[in-house]
C-alpha cells in the first residue's frame, strides 16, 4: 500500500530533480556586468541600443592607461571636474560627420577634416561646427565603463566644406 507520506516524499524529490536543470540554466556566471545591467522595465540584452540600455565600452584600467576610450560610436574620458565620473560623447563631428580624436595635450577633441574643436563635454570650442557633440549617459560599474548609446548626432548640413586652414578665424 502506498502511503500518503511516501507519495509526498517521492513527489517532492521528483519535483526538485526536475527543477534542477532549469535553475542551472538560469545561472550563468560567465555573463558580464554589461549583459546583466538593463533597464528595469525591459528584459532585452544590454547590447541593444535603446534608452536605458548600457553598452560595455571598455575597462577602467584601459581608460586610465590611455586617458580615454574610443570606438566608432563613442569616446569616453574621465570628467575633468570630477575624476570619479566619466563623460561620453559621440565622436562624429557635428559639422560633416568626420571622426574627432581626443588630443590629450590640448585637452580637446579635434576634427581632422575642417578643424573644429570640442571640449571634453562635447561643447564647441571653435568651428566650423556650430553644434556640440552628442553626449551620452555613462558610468563606471566595478571595473567596466558603460555607456548608454541611443541616438545619432545632428549633422549641421548648412555648413559648406571649407579646406582646413582656410576661412577660419
Binding positions for ligand FES, rule: CB under 6 A: 93, 95-96, 98, 111, 113-116, 128-129
DSSP state letters, the chain: ---HHHHHHHHHHHHHHHHHHHHHHH--TT--HHHH---TT--S-TTS-STT--EEEEEHHHHHHHS-EE-SS-EEEEETTEEEEEEEE--B-TTT-PBPEEETTTTEEE-TTT--EE-TTS-EEESS--SPPPEEEEEEETTEEEEE---PPP--TTSPP--TTSS--
- For residue 164, the minimal CB distance to ligand FES (Å) is 8
Nearest distance in Å: CB 96, ligand FES: 4
From the CB of 114, what's the least distance to ligand FES, in Å? Answer: 3
Nearer to ligand FES, 86 or 100 (CB): 100
Tell the smallest beta-carbon distance from residue 95 to ligand FES (Å): 3
Judged by beta carbon, residue 29 or residue 163, the one nearer ligand FES is 163
Judged by beta carbon, residue 55 or residue 90, the one nearer ligand FES is 90
Residue whose CB is less far from ligand FES, 62 or 121: 121
Amino acid at each position: 500500500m502506498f502511503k500518503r507520506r511516501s507519495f509526498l516524499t517521492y513527489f517532492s524529490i521528483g519535483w526538485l530533480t526536475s527543477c534542477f536543470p532549469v535553475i542551472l540554466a538560469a545561472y550563468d556566471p560567465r555573463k558580464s556586468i554589461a549583459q546583466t545591467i538593463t533597464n528595469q522595465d525591459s528584459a532585452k540584452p544590454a547590447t541593444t541600443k535603446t534608452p536605458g540600455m548600457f553598452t560595455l565600452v571598455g575597462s577602467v584600467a584601459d581608460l586610465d592607461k590611455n586617458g580615454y576610450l574610443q570606438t566608432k560610436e563613442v569616446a569616453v574620458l574621465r570628467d575633468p571636474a570630477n575624476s570619479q565620473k566619466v563623460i561620453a560623447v559621440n565622436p562624429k563631428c557635428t559639422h560633416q560627420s568626420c571622426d574627432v580624436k581626443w588630443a590629450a595635450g590640448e585637452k580637446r577633441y579635434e576634427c581632422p577634416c575642417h578643424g573644429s574643436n570640442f571640449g571634453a563635454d562635447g561643447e564647441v570650442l571653435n568651428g566650423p561646427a556650430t553644434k556640440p557633440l552628442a553626449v551620452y549617459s555613462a558610468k563606471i560599474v566595478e571595473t567596466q565603463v558603460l555607456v548608454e548609446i541611443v541616438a545619432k548626432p545632428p549633422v549641421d548640413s548648412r555648413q559648406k566644406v571649407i579646406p582646413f586652414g582656410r576661412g577660419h578665424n
